[in-house]
C-alpha cells in the first residue's frame, strides 16, 4: 500500500511539473503574440510583419520623445541619433553618427525590398541626405521628426514620397552587422 502511494505521489508531482512547463511555454508564446498584436495596432504594421518584438518595443518606448538637434536622450533626440540608438540597442551594432555617414555604412536596398530594421534615407530640400528613419514594415518607418519628435510615418504619404532617396542595410563585411532574425534576440 505504501509503494502505491509513493508511485501515485511521484506521478502526481511529475504531472504537475509537465503541466507547469507546458503552461510556461504557452504563456511565453501568448505574451509574444499579444505584444505583436499590440505593436501592430499602435504602429499600423501588419501582425505578420512584426517579427522583431525587440525593435517594436524600442520604438514604442521612444514614441513622443521631442526632437532636439544633436540630442541623444529621451529629453530630445534627432533623426540620426535615434536610428543609431535603435541599432545599438536592438541589433547590437554601430552605424555612424549622422544620416550621411549612416548611408555610407549600408548596402543600398530598393524600396520594394525593405525589411524591418532597414534604414530609409531622405533628401529634404537638399542635394544631400538630410533625414533617416528605421523601416518597420508595411511602408511604415520610425524617425525623429523635427516637428513632432519620435513618431511612425508612412512612406506612401506624399511628403515622404517626394523626398525619399533610398533604403539601406548594414554592410555584410561588418562583423557587427545586424540580422533580421528575431530569434537571436
Q: How far apart are the first and last CA of the chain?
A: 51
C-alpha triplet 167, 134, 82: angle, nearest 5°: 130
20 in active site? no
User: Distance between CA atoms of 178 and 33, rounded to whole angstroms?
Assistant: 23
Q: How many angstroms separate the CA atoms of 149 and 74, rounded?
A: 10
16 catalytic? Reply is no
Q: What is the dihedral of CA 142, 157, 129, 42, to 10 degrees?
A: 0
Q: What angle do CA 113, 117, 121 make, to 5 degrees?
A: 70
Cell of 34: 499579444
Which of 59, 79, 132, 155 does the annotation list as catalytic? Answer: 79
What are the two backbone dihedrals, phi and then psi, of residue 143, each rounded to the nearest 5 degrees?
A: -165, 165
- Compute the chain's Rg from CA coordinates: 22
Which of 36, 140, 143, 169 is flagged as catalytic? 143
Give the C-alpha separation, 6 to 182, whole Å: 45
Annotated catalytic residue: which of 131, 138, 141, 144? 131
Question: Catalytic amino acids?
Answer: 79, 131, 143
Amino acid at each position: 500500500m505504501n509503494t502505491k502511494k509513493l508511485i501515485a505521489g511521484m506521478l502526481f508531482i511529475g504531472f504537475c511539473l509537465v503541466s507547469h512547463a507546458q503552461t510556461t511555454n504557452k504563456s511565453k508564446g501568448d505574451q509574444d503574440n499579444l505584444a505583436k498584436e499590440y505593436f501592430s495596432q499602435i504602429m499600423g504594421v501588419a501582425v505578420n510583419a512584426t517579427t522583431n518584438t525587440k525593435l517594436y518595443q524600442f520604438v514604442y518606448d521612444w514614441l513622443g520623445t521631442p526632437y532636439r538637434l544633436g540630442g541623444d536622450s529621451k529629453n530630445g533626440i534627432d533623426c540620426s541619433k535615434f536610428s543609431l540608438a535603435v541599432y545599438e540597442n536592438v541589433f547590437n551594432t554601430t552605424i555612424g553618427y549622422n544620416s550621411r555617414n549612416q548611408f555610407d555604412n549600408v548596402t543600398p536596398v530598393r524600396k520594394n525590398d525593405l525589411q524591418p530594421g532597414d534604414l530609409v534615407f531622405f533628401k529634404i530640400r537638399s542635394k544631400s541626405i538630410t533625414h533617416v528613419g528605421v523601416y518597420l514594415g508595411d511602408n511604415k518607418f520610425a524617425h525623429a521628426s523635427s516637428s513632432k519628435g519620435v513618431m511612425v510615418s508612412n512612406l506612401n504619404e506624399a511628403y515622404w514620397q517626394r523626398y525619399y532617396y533610398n533604403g539601406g542595410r548594414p554592410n555584410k563585411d561588418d562583423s557587427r552587422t545586424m540580422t533580421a532574425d528575431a530569434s537571436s534576440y
